Amino acid sequence: MPVSFVAYIDESGDTGLEQVKKPDDPKGATEWLVLSAFLVRAENDPKMVTWTQDVQAKITSKRADLHFNKLLPFKKTLVCSALATKQARCFVVMSNKKNIERYKNPRLDADNKAWIYWFLTRLLLERVTAFCAQHVPEERRGQDKLRIIFSRRGDLTYKDFTDYLWKMYYERGFQVLGYKELDWSVIDFDEIYAHDHGNKAGLQLAARSWSSPWPAPARWCHRHGSARRRTHEP
């Protein structure tokens, strides 16, 4: 099936729940786990390197890759403003882990720490797939597909996510918790990949989404539970 959309997915934070950092105790796992998707049309995918260079030019950076969290605040604003001019969409899901500290999913092996990452990915893709499906002409529905590219993490097995997707697909319409469904018309199970962060410019742009989600220009950021209009369609 032809690929019409490409979603680059990156994260900030970790999956640890045993002990979550607190203001008076900096030890432990990160308080937040944030996943973001940088979505572009397939015809714009070859422009990712150029777009990254455009962003670097705004902040006069000569680095081969972008490290948003190391930038001064005014440079972060410049990066967000530069991205807001691109034909792309950004989606963000943010989980504050304080209220699920030490939670154990009784259906999973006790050592499985990846479940929260895949669950947040599922929430993220609910929004991404719905948006893609809205922008597929009716006569092409079911034909135009989404390519999903993860920033590789050493502690994750990406086949597990594909298996999770298949499970949701077979259980569609009978979800236990009654969550929204992914729009399966744009999902292609053979179009799920993981690459090292530095090898894909699109993953570096995805990282800009979560590194500073709150001050990002409203017209280009989608957050789970809310959507904001933007001028440039992907």
Q: Give the per-residue pLDDT at 161.
A: 92
CB within 8 Å of 127: residues ≥ 6 apart: 91, 93, 222, 224, 227
What percentage of the chain carries pLDDT values higher than 90?
39
Q: Write the pLDDT tens digit of every residue in 1-52.
A: 799 999 999 988 887 888 888 777 778 888 888 999 999 999 999 999 999 8
Cα separation values, 57 from 75, 106, 199, 215, Å: 11, 49, 19, 20
pLDDT at 187 over 90: yes
223 phi and psi, to 5 degrees? Answer: -115, 150
The structure tokens 């590194």 sit at 211
What one-character DSSP code corresponds to residue 198? Answer: G
Q: Give the per-residue pLDDT at 210.
A: 52
Query: Cα separation of 148 and 188, whole Å?
Result: 9
The structure tokens 């979603």 sit at 7
Q: Where are the domains of the chain?
A: 3-223
Q: Are 37 and 7 in contact (CB under 8 A)?
A: yes
Fold of 3-223: Nucleotidyltransferase; domain 5 (3.30.420)
Q: Give the per-residue pLDDT at 226.
A: 35
Write the DSSP string, 36-62: EEEEEEGGGGGGHHHHHHHHHHHTT--
Q: Write the pLDDT tens digit of every residue in 104-122.
A: 777 777 667 788 899 999 9
The pTM assigned to this predicted structure is 0.84
